[in-house]
Structure formats: structure tokens, C-alpha cells
Amino acid sequence: IDQDIRNYAPVTDLKDFQKLLERILEEYNSMGSTKRQMKIIMFLDACEHVARITRVLRKPQGPALLLGVGGSGRQSLSKLSIYIANHQQFQIEVTKSYGFKNWREDLKKSVLMRAGIDEKRISFLFTDTQIISENALEDINNIINSGDVPGIYAKDDKEAICLLYTSDAADEGLGVDL
């Protein structure tokens, strides 16, 4: 199913919609390692959840918070929705040595820089088991509210970002102070 023609449209036939999502799931499962494959039964409630998540992801700056009991499919349905919305997915891998410094570096390079500088559509999948500190939750709150994390960029990072966009700003007639 062509990524470019995945339009969000009203569903007129639930069975056709269910079959479409099953085909997209097959496509998703065929595109990677067996570790990545998901075995999901696309019953109607799951289809509705995928539609809702995908709708939120397609909105500009569309954060979503999904709540539910463990094993209810939030993460799997989110991964499928991320695929449907043609986003790149990022998820941290918490290990014993993973700390707040690693968190900030992952957030900066794998989420904020890729979304801002590389102009990629990124979906950051974060579960309750990945909370390493209250500061990490505060960072997520800042991203949802303002799209950035105060103090995450070093002076060198800021200068590099400004240099990338100096000519674009000048072309738009905006004053640029470095």
C-alpha cells in the first residue's frame, strides 16, 4: 500500500477498514526482522484505536498519552499507527548504565535534532518502564508544551543550528544575530 496515498478519510465499511489494516499489518511485519513483527488480531476496537492514534499523529505537534492496563496493546497499536502515519519511530533502551545524561543525549540527537534540523516526522514511543527520573518526565512535559527542552543545547549546538538557518532567515528578511 503506497505510503503517499494513505489519506485519512471517513470509514464507510468497517469490514473493509479491518481488511485494510490487516494488509498494512502484513506489510509492516514483512519489512524487518522477526523480532520487530507484531501478531495483532485486528478486531473492530483495535481498528478504531489505530484510527484515533493515527489521526492524532497526523496533526502538527500531535502528542498522545495512552492509558490502559498492561498487555492491552497500546504499544503495538501505536507502532502500527506510527507506520501508517509514515513517521520514524524512536524508543529508548534502558539498561543498567543508562542515566539522565544518556537520556538527554538521546532526546537531543534522536528526537529534537532529527525533527527540527533533519525535518523528519518522529514519533517518540515512551512507556512507564522507561521513566529513569522525574526530570525525564519534566523534559517530556516541556516537549509537549513548547516543543523544546530548556538547557538541552550546548553553546556549540546552538551556533551550529543558527548557522544552518542563517541564509534561510536572511532570504525571509528576518534579522539574525549570532
- Between CA 58 and CA 51 the distance in angstroms is 11
Q: What is the mean pLDDT of residues 56-80?
A: 84
8 Å CB contact between 132 and 126: no
pLDDT exceeds 60 at position 155: yes
Q: What is the mean pLDDT of residues 170-175?
A: 75
Of the candidates 83, 148, 80, 71, the one whose C-alpha atom is nearest the C-alpha of residue 113 is: 148
Proportion of the chain above pLDDT 90, given as a percent = 54
3 state SS of 89? strand
Q: 14-67 pLDDT, tens per residue?
A: 999 999 999 999 999 998 776 778 999 999 999 999 999 999 998 877 778 787
Query: Max Cα separation, the chain?
Result: 57
pLDDT at 1: 47
8 Å CB contact between 18 and 42: yes
The conformational region for residue 30 under phi > 0 = left, psi -120 to 50 = alpha, else beta, is alpha
Q: What is the mean pLDDT of residues 101-121?
A: 91
- Between CA 21 and CA 69 the distance in angstroms is 23
Q: What is the mean pLDDT of residues 123-141?
A: 92
